[in-house]
């Protein structure tokens, strides 16, 4: 049997964005509260009964969160253009968890009603 485990977290960050629509507000430094969720999938270890200890997931997220929370996303090394898509990919590539267990990464901004879901196994094959 396969099980999914998820851990959510949030971070507050600012960014700019060069785009064709909503140009004036996007080009100015502005901020959002981002929510994110990492989902792992797997078969529980017979010894522990766990797919992955959620304590380890929380530790990995806390370390990752330090690179994003209260930062200017334009300046985060390795992120690239601070889009929702690139945030998902950055989280997938940066979080210190077994990559083969990560099923998906989701990032959303509740205040704007928008979000992005990255299916990790599709990203690995891309």
pLDDT of residue 126: 47
| pLDDT value of residue 64 | 97
| CATH top class, domain 3-125 | alpha beta
Across the chain, which distance is largest between two alpha carbons, in Å? 56
The pTM of this model reads 0.90
Give the dihedral sign, CA 116/67/6/124: positive
DSSP letter string, the chain: --EEEEEEEEEEEEE----SSSHHHHHS-EEEEEEEEEEEEEPPPTTTS-SS-HHHHHHHHHHHHHHHTTSBGGGSTTT-S--HHHHHHHHHHHS-S-GGGEEEEEEEETTTTEEEEEEHHHHHH-
Q: Compute CA 73 distance to the chain's CA centroid, rounded to the nearest angstrom.
A: 13
Quick: pLDDT tens for 74-95: 999 999 999 999 999 999 999 9
What integer pLDDT is reported at residue 17 of this predicted model? Answer: 81
Q: Which residues of the chain have pLDDT under 70?
A: 19-27, 123-126
**Domain parsing of the chain, residue ranges:** 3-125
């Amino acid at each position: 049997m396969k099980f999914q485990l998820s851990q959510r977290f949030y971070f507050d960050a600012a960014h700019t964005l060069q785009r064709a629509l909503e140009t004036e507000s996007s080009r100015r430094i502005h901020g959002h509260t981002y929510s994110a969720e990492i989902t792992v999938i797997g078969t529980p270890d017979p010894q522990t009964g766990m797919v992955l200890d959620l304590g380890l997931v929380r530790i990995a997220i806390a370390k990752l969160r330090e690179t994003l929370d209260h930062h200017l996303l334009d300046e985060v090394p390795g992120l690239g253009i601070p889009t929702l898509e690139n945030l998902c990919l950055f989280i997938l590539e940066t979080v210190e968890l077994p990559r083969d267990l990560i099923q998906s990464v989701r990032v959303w901004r509740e205040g704007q009603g928008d979000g992005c879901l990255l299916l990790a196994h599709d990203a690995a094959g891309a």
